[in-house]
A and B are shown apart, each in its own frame.
Chain A
Amino acid sequence: MNELAITVIGRDRPGIVADVAEVLARLGANLTDSTMTRLRGHFAMTLICVGPAAADVEAALAPLAGDGQLLATVRAVTPDGGAASGGEPYVMAVHGADRMGIVAAMTRVLAEAGGNVTDLSTRLAGTLYVVVAEVDLPPGSAGELAGRLDRAAAELGVEVSLRPADPDLL
């Protein structure tokens, strides 16, 4: 069974998700995990599907990109078992005046502590820059990491917070 990674990016309009999903359903490609948002107004969708050959999907999606407003890419990927990380889930939030290198500096601090970013959003709104990252941290590392994030944020002149994202089992 082929596992395919598909990206669709371009000018937003109503119906893109329906168009893409229809093409995949027609080909017998089972849409598994997907995410879609608008990035500065651009339509941006990334998805994994299981089923047909990459070339067939690419050919079927080509008409959607025919007007030059959308770009669709398809590539085969190796299935990932989704192994449990064993890390502790945290949310890092950063905000402050926009400048070069905020994401690079803050995520480098996470990486050097063995943290794995599992979800990330960044937004520029006027001069305000916002970063929200979900990160799995090695057990027991959050306290020391928070200090290092504080120092990195101070150098950049931005604010940072790190808080547990532990779900409550009900």
Chain B
Amino acid sequence: MSDAYAGLGDWTPEALGVDGAVRPVVTAPHPVLSREGGAVDPTAAETVRLAADLIATMRVAPGCVGLAAPQVGVGAQVFAVDVTGHPKAVTVHGTFVLCNARVVEATRWKPGREGCMSVPDLTGDVKRASRLVVEGDLPGTGAAVRLVTDGFEARALQHEIDHCAGLLFLDRVAGAHAIYQRKVYL
């Protein structure tokens, strides 16, 4: 096991012990996307089910590298991320779900163009930290984790943590001429 996995320990999606169901993804201007999600009990059965559902829903969406609970209509601080195989990813922690996550260190800010399943027709230029430290709880065990990451995985984590705080990339867009009609729908 590489150092990159140290933060997750031996957690895997299988440790959730339930099969996830694919849930419908909601799109803006749905109000749940603009409300701060509530903190959750990471050991609660409903949190574990939600975590499994987020992974299942993320996996059926082509090109999707992250999905937050508000995007499936649940106002909770839970999200799934998996940037495995993405060409821009450097550090990769595989598939994981975090509850009650917060950014504790963010440095080396870089611009990049983002799209979101919940804003399907637009993209926007957004600055994100390319070095990131995040703390949160793992669903199921409830273990507290500290993840150190960078590059594309860092961008994905910030995007999902924003969802849990009721923010879309539109709230962080770099300027009046930094939103674009989406040209390719993956």
Contacts and interface: CB of A to CB of B under 8 A. Distances in A.
Q: Decide if A and B are genuine partners.
A: yes
Interface of A: 35-37, 82, 84-89, 118-119, 121, 134, 136, 165-170
A134 B186 contact: no
Contacts of A165: 113, 180
B99 interface: no
B183 A170 contact: no
A85 B183 contact: yes
A136 B183 contact: yes
B160 A170 contact: yes
Given A85-B183, A89-B183, A170 B177 contact: no
Interface of B: 63-66, 86, 88, 112-117, 123, 152, 155-156, 159-160, 169, 176-177, 180-186
B44 to A, nearest CB: 26
Nearest to A132: B177
Contacts of A89: 180, 183-184
The 7 A-B pairs at the shortest CB distance, nearest first, are namely: A167-B123, A167-B115, A170-B159, A167-B113, A169-B63, A169-B115, A89-B183
A152 to B, nearest CB: 24
Contacts, number: 60
A169 B186 contact: yes
B117 A169 contact: yes
A37 B177 contact: yes
Nearest to B160: A170
A80 to B, nearest CB: 12
B79 to A, nearest CB: 10
A88 B114 CA distance: 16
Contacts of A86: 184
Contacts of A36: 176
A168 B113 contact: yes
Nearest to B62: A169
Contact of A119 (B66, B169, B180): B180
A168 B112 contact: yes
Given A118-B183, A165-B113, 4 more contacts: A165-B180, A169-B116, A170-B115, A170-B169
B155 A82 contact: no
Contact of A35 (B64, B117, B177, B183): B177
